[in-house]
Every structure is written in C-alpha cells, then in structure tokens.
Structure 1
Amino acid sequence: MQTLLLWMFYISTFYAFIPALVSRIFGFRVFRRGKSEQEFALTFDDGPDPVYTPQLLDLLKRFDAKATFFVVGINAEKHPELLKRMHDEGHLIGIHNYVHKSNWLMRPVTVRRQIAQTEEVIRRVTGKGTTFYRPPWGIVNFFDISKTNGRRIVLWSSMFGDWKASIGAKQLAERMLKKLRGGEVMLLHDCGTTLGADEEAPQNMLIALEKLLMVAQERQLRSVRVDTLFGQPVLISAASEMAGTGWFKKTLVFGWLLYERLFHTLFRLRPVSKEDTIFYYRRRTYRGPNVNMENGRWLKKGDPIVELHFDNKMLFHLGSTAKSMVHLAIQLIRIVKRQLPDLAHQLVHDSGMNGVKAVYAVSMINRGPEKLGFQIQELPKGLFKGASTIYLKLLFSVIHPSGLEQLNEKKEVMVPKLIVMPIDTLFARFHQREAYQADSALGQTNQLGAAHVLHGEVNDEVSSI
C-alpha cells in the first residue's frame, strides 16, 4: 500500500504539479505578459453568459476596446448568438474546455476531446477555428505543455478575485487600476455560474471595468486582443517546431529546457537582452588555468569574470526552423553580432559587475569567435574537460534536429574549448555612444554545443554565400 501511494505521488507530481509550477513561475510554453508600453489585454473566462456578456460587449464597444474571450464550450453552444457577436465585433475567441473542469482531473485524451469539441462549436458559429487556449484555473498537466498541437496557451499576469461578489465594485476597481499598464494580461470573468464563483459577481466586474477603461483612455492606454499584444509570432510556437519529432525527443527537449529554467533561477543568470535573448550571464570567480589574454595581460585563478550561457530554447527554435546547417550558422552569427553591444551596455551599467576582468565561456567552437574579439584556448586535460565534452555533446544532440548525425560525422571538431575576451576589449569594441544593444554576443557560451554550427561550417561556406 505504501509503495502504491508513493508511486501515485510520483505520477501526480510529474503529471500535474511540476508542469503547473513551471508554467506559472517560469512561463514555460505559455504566454503570460506582453512587452507593449501602451497596450494591455482584457481577457474574460467562463462565458458566454446571457445576462452579463451582452452588457460587457456593449461596454467594450463604447470604449472601442478589444478583448479576448475564453469560452466554455457548453455555454457557447447554448448561446451561439453571443459567440457570433464577439466575432463580428472584432474580439478574439479562445477555448476554456467544453466543461469547466480541471485538466488535473482528466486524462490527456479527455482534455484533447474537450478542446476539439469547443473548437467545433466556435468554428460552426463563426466559420473560423482558434489556436488560443486557457485551461480552467490556469492549471496545466504534462501533456498540455509537452504536446500542444499548435495550441497557444495563454495565462495572465494579473487577476483580481472578481468571481467573488463580496469584494465589491469599488475595491475591485482599485485592484484593477493598480495593474493598469502596458503589457498587462488581465484575468476577468463574464460568468458567475462556475464552481466557487458567485452568480452576481460579474455585475461588480462591469462597474469596475468601466472605471478602468475611462482611466485607460485618459492615460492613452489601449485594450487589445492577446494575439495583438504578443504579435502572433513566437513565444508559444514550440509546438510547430516539434512537429514530426518523436515522443522520446520531445520529452528529452522538454526536460532539458526545464532543467535550464531551474538552473537560471537557482544561479541567478541574467538575460542579455529583454527580447529574444541568445545569452545569459552571471558573475563568477575564475577557477581554470592561467590564460594569456592579450598585451601581456593574464586571466588567473581567483579573478572575477562574467560567465556566458547560451539560451537553449532559442537554439532549439533556430535549429528546428533552419533550412540547412549554413542557414542556421548565418542566423546565429547575426544574433550574436546584434546582441554583443547589449551585453557591453548591460555590464557597464551593472554595479554588480564592477571589477570583472573578462567574459568567459566553454564552447565547441573551432573558428570564428576571434573575429568578434574572443580568444580561443584549449582546455587542459582532466575531469572538467571530459565532463564538458559529454555535457555539450548531449546538449547538441538534443538541441539540433540532426545533432547525433553531426556528432558522428565531426567527432574530431566537437571538442570544447575555452573562449575569453578581456572586459575592456568588449567595451572598446561594442560600447559606443549609448547603444541600446549591449550584451548578447557573449555568444558562444557554456551551452554552445550547437554553436559548433556557427563556426565549424560557416567559416568554410559563408564566404561563398
């Protein structure tokens, strides 16, 4: 009995708790917040409701505000005229399951059936399907985020407890106004008939929302659909990148990216760029062999350094969409060059980086980084070199679609090396004027397993391109 309970605990942790934690805290495979300065998103769950949804649509129309409705399929089926009105008035319609039931309590096949059933209702009424999905209570299971089948999971950056009538319209408005800013994804409800909600609660929401829209108008903030807020590309496109990939590879990639998120959090790595960063960095004490950098300067054991790490999610995205090895290499080169100034800018303005002597990474690069100002050094034989080789080869096999084949074909060049750039060289080359671009070409990081592509093939072939 004890063994059975233990196994049930392990399964529930893997199936439910860990995916929910990762998606909520780290935003893995979900959209929670936009980057706009002047636009925010109003999202409404649980409807359509015959009493409150028409009032809500009237209010949004009055302020020329667009919103996103995550509808419960059974409610949409009962009130197709409201679904059609949402669509006709330019709002985005998403899926909130066919019945309002937690994904933790359903098998993966049941969840897929709930989604498909709801989409069929939407398609039948509006003539269009939808790729946007919000699970009830924002709770995902392992299969929701490992195999989304092109679905874009949307959570939120702020919620206000508007499903409870006891909060009152005044207090609710105060809570909402505190969160009124660009990029915010607000969670509200236009139906009070679900478990734990009060039936009359949406009336308070409507009063508070009117106040919010008036203030937003004064501040020149605009309510937009979530697809407008995050601009349709990326952030949640991993499903299409994984199409055609076997279940084992999908699981491996998911686990690897989860590990990376945890690593970044535990060791407080910082992104080089706010948008689509290719690098993360942290301050460390150098523990390797002495390195003659340039002009008689040495990097010695105990010196403070900036350690660089590649963003594996970005690498996987690039590797999955690249048409060829050369195409992948060119993409990496462009990103590295574009983000090196970001790194320099960030280090100059980060007081915690005062006194660092160099930027440093371990990589499988053969040629190329020296053109950006890096020096390449052989790693001394030993445990660190052996462990780094195993780690980076495993990384490369996971990140790149043909990683294993590349490892077999190019064994002689898949060797980790130390790359170093004196900090003043970085500043001299890339911190000019007040360039916003500052740090991402720190590129070739610890995770540069895939960056072998950047220099192993590119130097030989890019010149002809």
Structure 2
Amino acid sequence: MSTVLLYLFYFFTFYAFLPGLISRMFGFRVFKKGLSDRHVSLTFDDGPDPVYTPRLLDVLQRYGVKATFFVVGKHAEAHPEIVERMHREGHSIGIHNYLHRSNWLMRPKTVAKQVRMTAEAIERITGEKPKLYRPPWGVMNVFDFASRSRMQIVLWSMMAGDWRESTGAEKIGARLSKSLRGGQVYLLHDCGNTFGADIGAPKHTIAALEKFIPEALERGFSFVRVDELIQTTAKARAKREPGPLRKALVAAWLLWERCFHALFRLQSAVPGDPRSFLFYRITAYHGETIPLADGDALRAGDKIVELHMNNGLLYEFGRKSRSPLQLAIQLIRAMEKAMPALAASVFLRGDAKSVKAVVGTSMVNRGVEQFGFTVADLPRGFFSVATKLYLKCLLSVIHPQGKDRLDERAEMLVPKRIAISANEMLRRYGDIAGEVAATSVESTDGQPA
C-alpha cells in the first residue's frame, strides 16, 4: 500500500503540482500580468450565461470597454448568439475547456479533446481560431506546457473572489479599486453555473463593475483585451535591459554549462577553442530507429557523435536577435561554419571508423537538411516532454526578452532529433575537413602538415 501511495505522490508531483508551481512562480509559458502604466484587462470565466453575460456586455458597451471572455465550450454551443455578440463588439474570446473540469483530473488526451472541441465551437461561431487558453481554476498539468504551445496560456494577477454571492458587490468593488494599477489582469466571472460557484453571484460582479469602470477611467486607466496587453508587454520588455534576476540566472546557467562539459567530457569541434559553436562526445545511441539520408538507418547501440551547442554563444546570439526567426538564421549560419571543423575533429580520431552518425536534439532545426541532416520527431514519452520543457526553459532564460520573444514564432522552436550519417558527413565535408585539419596542425607545431 505504501508503494502505491508513493507512486501516487510522484505522479501528482510531476504531473500536476510542479507545473503549477513553475508557472505561477516563474511565469513559464503563462501570462499573468502586463507591463504597462495605464492598461488593465478584465477577464471573465465560465460563460456565456443567458442571463448575466448580455447584461455584462451592455455595461461594457456603455463605457466603450473591451474585455476577454474565456468560455466553456458547452455553454458556447448552447448560446452561440452571445458568443457572436462578444466577437461583434470587439471582445477577445478564449478557451476554458469544453466542460469546467480540472486538468489534474483528466488524461492529456482528454484535455486536448476538451480544448479542441471548444476551439472548433468558437471558430464555427466567430470565424476565427482562438489563441488564448485558461484552464479551469488555473490548474495545469505537465502536458499543457508542450501541447498548448500554439496557444497563450493566461492566468491572472488579481482575483476578486466573485463566484460567491456572499462576497457582495461592495466588497468586490473595493477589492478591484484597491488593486487598480497598470498591467493588472482581473479574474471575474459572468456565469455561476459551475462547481463551487453560486448561480446568482454574477449580478454582484456586474453591479461592482458599474462603479469600478467609470472610477478607473476617471483615474486615467484604459481597459484592453488580454491579447493587446500581451503585445504591449512584449514591446515594453524589448526595451528593458535584463534585470538582476535574469542576469543571475544566465550566470548560473553558464556556470552549469561549464560543469556539464566537464562532467560529460565534451570536446570542442575546434580543439582547444572554448568558443566553438559545437561540442560533442562519443557515446552509444539509445532510441528508436532513424532513417538516414544516405539510405542507412541509425539503430539502438550504434556509436554516435552526440552534438551539443555552446549555450554561451547561444546567449550572445539571443541578445543580438530581434526575433526567434533571426535567432534561427544566426544559428544556421554558425552551423554552416562549424560543420567542417566538427568533421575534421571527428575524422582525426582513432575510433572514427566505428562512428555511425552524428546526432543532436535541437529546437532550431529548420533548414538543417541542407547540411545533410535528417530531422525526426522525438518519440512520445517522458523524454520528449522533459526535453521540450528543458529547452524552452533554456531559451526563456538565455534570451534577453524572455519567453515573449520566443512565443512570437513558437512553431519554429519545437525540439526535434537531427542526424547525419558519418559517411554522408565525410562525403560533404571530407575535403574541407582535411584543409581544416591541416591548418590546425600547422598552427599547432609551426610545420606544414
């Protein structure tokens, strides 16, 4: 019995607790609060409700305020005319699962189905695909980070506690006013027909907003949709220098980089050069069979050259890049220069003939086919999920503007396995590698090779 409880503890910790902790403490893959002096966002969960949502829309329309609605798919299908009105009046519409159920209590496939069904319902009604997602109660599991990569997960910075009738309009309004500051993302509800909520609670929310909205407008604040606040925040962060915390994280990561190189005895593609773009080690391959471009295949147990990028240089590239696309271009150019040096370093080894292929796992894999690499999806499982989280955390830390820049072209940053056979590398880079090797020997001993 104790073993079963231990497994349940591990499952809950890694499937549910840690993802929620990471997202709330470090903001990984989520948007909670914006960077703005005067912009705030009102967000409403659980609707649409046939009684309260139209009343709420009337209030927002009266004051010219735009908001964001995270709708429950089943409710949206039941009241498409309300969703259509939200869209027509310029509000943003996001996903709140098809049924209001916790992601902790559903399998990843079930959560994916819930999101897909809600997205399809919203698109049928509005003609637009939703890009924002808020899981019920803000609860996420480990697969949400990876599987929701094309959607922005939105949490909140201020919760008014308006799902209970006992809270009352006066208390809700006081909480809203007290917390009024730029960048705030308010969590409110336009439907009380969900577990733990009171059916009549939204009437108090609407009454509170009748006083809060004009007060905030008089104080010089503007109400914007969450997607607009996200864009404003991204621009603000792009202008800021990295703060002390990010600098400390970068320094710690680069220190770990040196420890990692020493621990696994990584070798520079350019012997003796710590600023080489590529490092490697010789090891055995573990994984599914990968077809190679020359017709051969890489199988478990084959000896490979395992590639590793220089994260120090990656950080420098990130500082100079204005977008993930530009970062990808710089990395491809660096790869183009590094491949002949890598080939020279490998082919000069005494055990070069036993190497079957060169293999790496990279988030920047667009265009590597031009260097002879085969690109393959990571096999599903824990390694795939862990690798995606690891590499996204890495790029979030090393890029000066953090995750906002990366999210601009997130589809380009999906980790995949890249591989090139040793024979293909020799065919492509053998002649250049020989020149590189000769130059390396000459610069070392002063004599022609």
Partner of 1:86: 86
Q: Distance in 1 between matches of 2:316 and 2:47?
A: 35
Query: Where does structure 2 lack aligned partners over 5 or more consecutive residues?
Result: 253-311, 335-359, 369-399, 401-449
Given the alignment, which residue of 247, 252, 256 partners 1:279?
Answer: 247
Aligned-partner Cα distance in 1 for 2:73–2:181 = 31
Alpha-carbon distance, 1:26 to partner: 1.3
Counterpart in the other structure of 1:104: 104
Q: Find the aligned partners of 2:128 and 2:5 in 1 and give their Cα distance.
A: 45
The change in CA–CA distance for 1:400 and 1:153 in structure 2 (over 3 A counts) is: closer
Which residue of structure 2 lines up, in the alignment, with residue 325 of structure 1? 330
Q: Determine helix, strand or coil for the equivalent of 2:203.
A: helix
Residues 126 and 327 of structure 1, relative CA distance in 2, 3 Å threshold: same
Aligned to 1:157: 157
| Structure 2 residue 7 is the aligned partner of structure 1 residue 39 | no
Q: Say if 1:79 and 1:398 are closer, same or farther in 2 by CA, change over 3 A.
A: same
Aligned residue in 2 for 1:432: none
41 and 217 in structure 1: CA distance in 2 versus 1, 3 angstrom threshold: same
Question: Following TM superposition, by how much is the alpha carbon of 1:272 offset from its aligned partner in structure 2, in angstroms?
Answer: 4.9
Aligned equivalents of 2:317, 2:185: Cα separation in 1: 24
Partner of 1:21: 21
Match of 1:401 among 357, 364, 373: 364
Between the aligned partners of 1:213 and 1:182, the Cα distance in structure 2 is 14
CA distance in 2, matches of 1:316, 1:129: 32
**Aligned AA for 2:53?**
T
Report if aligned partners of 2:69, 2:93 keep a CA contact under 8 Å in 1.
Answer: yes
Q: Give 3-state SS (helix, strand or coil) of 2:209's partner.
A: helix
Please tell me whether residue 73 in structure 1 is matched to residue 73 in structure 2.
yes
The 5 A counterparts of 1:49-448 are 49-231=49-231, 272-273=241-242, 279-280=247-248, 315=318, 321=325, 322-325=327-330, 401=364
Q: CA RMSD in A?
A: 3.8
**Residue 401 of structure 1: how far off its partner (Å):** 3.4
SS at match of 2:208: helix
Return closer, same or farther for 1:82/1:314 CA change in 2, 3 Å cut-off. Answer: farther
- The one-character-per-residue Cα deviations of 1:188-221 (angstroms, maximum 9, x if unpaired) are 0000111111111111101111111011111121
Partner of 2:69: helix, strand, or coil?
strand
Q: CA deviation at 1:328?
A: 7.8
Cα distance in 2 for partners of 1:198, 1:314 equals 52
- What secondary structure sits across from 1:231 in the alignment? helix
Q: Residue by residue, what CA displacement relative to the aligned partner does 1:412-449 show, whole Å, maximum 9, x if unpaired?
A: xxxxxxxxxxxxxxxxxxxxxxxxxxxx8xxxxxxxxx
* Secondary structure of 1:168 counterpart: helix
**Matching residue's letter, 1:273:** P
Is 1:34–1:183's contact at 8 Å kept on the other side of the alignment? yes
**Partner residue, 1:462:** none
Partner of 2:83, secondary structure, is helix
**In 2 relative to 1, CA 80–314 (structure 1 residues): closer, same or farther, beyond 3 Å?**
farther
Distance 1:400 1:101, change over 3 A: closer
Q: Secondary structure at the match of 2:31?
A: coil
Q: Distance in 1 between matches of 2:49 and 2:201?
A: 12
Q: What is the CA distance between 1:310 and its match in structure 2?
A: 9.9
8 Å contact 2:35–2:233 — kept in the other structure?
no
2:76 aligned partner, one-letter code: A
Residue by residue over 1:118-167, the C-alpha shift from the partner in whole angstroms, topping out at 9 and shown as x without a partner, is 11111111111111100000000000012314011000001011001111
* Equivalent residue number for residue 351 of structure 1: none
Q: Which amino acid aligns with 1:89?
A: E
Change (3 A) 1:158 1:317: farther
Question: SS at the partner of 1:191?
Answer: coil
Q: How many residues align?
A: 284
The CA distance in 1 between the partners of 2:83 and 2:316, in whole Å, is 36
TM-score, normalised with respect to structure 1: 0.55
Residue identity matched to 2:50: P
Give, in whole Å, the separation in 2 of the partners of 1:5 and 1:84: 48
Whole-angstrom CA distance in 2 between matches of 1:313 and 1:39: 33
Deviation at 1:2, TM superposition (A): 1.9
Letter in 2 for 1:401: V
Question: For the pair shown, which has the larger CA radius of gyration, 1 or 2?
Answer: 2
Counterpart residue identity of residue 186, structure 1 = Y
Preserved contact between residue 279 and residue 310 of structure 1 (Cα < 8 Å): no
Range 205-214 or range 4-13, more displaced: 4-13
1:380 alignment counterpart: none
Q: Secondary structure at the match of 2:24?
A: helix
Change (3 A) 1:202 1:26: same
Partner of 1:207, secondary structure, is helix
Q: Specify whether residues 282 and 223 from structure 1 end up closer, same or farther in structure 2 by C-alpha distance, changes over 3 A only.
A: same
User: Aligned partners of 2:139 and 2:114: how far apart in 1?
Assistant: 15
Q: 1:323 to 1:313 in 2, by over 3 A?
A: closer
Distance 2:320 2:8 in 1: 34
C-alpha contact 1:159 1:188 (8 A) present in aligned 2: yes
CA distance in 1, matches of 2:202, 2:92: 20
Compute the TM-score of the two structures, normalised by the length of structure 2: 0.57
